[in-house]
Amino acid sequence: MWWKHTVIYQVYPRSFQDSNADGIGDLEGIRQRLPYLKDLGVGTLWLSPFYKSPMKDFGYDVADYCDVDPVFGTLEDFDRLLKEAHGLGLRVLIDLVPNHTSDQHPWFLESRTSRDNPKRNWYIWKDPGPEGGPPNNWQSFFGGPAWTLDQRTGQYYLHLFLPEQPDLNWQNPEVREAIHEAMRFWLRRGVDGFRVDVLWLLAKDPLFRDEPGNPEWRPGHPDRLRHQHLFTEDQPETYAYVREMRQVLDEFSEPGQERVMVGEIYLPLHRLVRYYRAGCHLPFNFSLITEGLPDWRPENIARIVEAYESLLTPWDWPNWVLGNHDQPRLASRLGEAQARVAAMLLFTLRGTPTWYYGDELALPNGEIPPDRIQDPAALRQKDRTPAGYHSLGRDPERTPMPWDASPYAGFSTVEPWLPLNPDWPVRNVAVQERDPQSILQLVKRLIALRQEPGLLLGPYRTYRARGGIYAYLRGEGFLVALNFTDRERALELPQKGRVVLSTHLDREEAVGETLRLRPDEGVVVRLS
Beta carbons within 8 Å of 266's beta carbon, 6+ residues apart: 200, 286, 290
Residue 377 CA to residue 396 CA, distance in Å, equals 13
Q: Name beta bridge partners: 100.
A: 167
Half-sphere exposure for 62 (CA within 13 Å, toward CB): 23
Active-site residue flag, 251: yes
Q: What sign results for the dihedral spanned by CA atoms 290, 262, 201, 309?
A: negative
Alpha helices in 322-372 (DSSP H): 330-334, 336-348
Residue 515 CA to residue 143 CA, distance in Å, equals 51
Choosing from 57, 77, 95, 197, which is the catalytic residue? 197
Checking 113-122 for CB contacts under 8 A at 24+ apart, the result is 113/152, 114/153, 115/153, 115/155, 121/169, 121/172, 122/168, 122/169, 122/172, 122/174, 122/175, 122/178
Active-site residue flag, 67: no
Residue 510 backbone dihedrals phi, psi, to 5 degrees = -70, 145
Residue 44 CA to residue 49 CA, distance in Å, equals 16
Q: What is the largest CA-CA distance in the chain?
A: 78
CB 489 within 8 A of CB 467: yes
127, containing H or E segment: none
Choosing from 39, 174, 251, 506, which is the catalytic residue? 251
Residue 437 CA to residue 305 CA, distance in Å, equals 29
Catalytic residue ranges: 197, 251
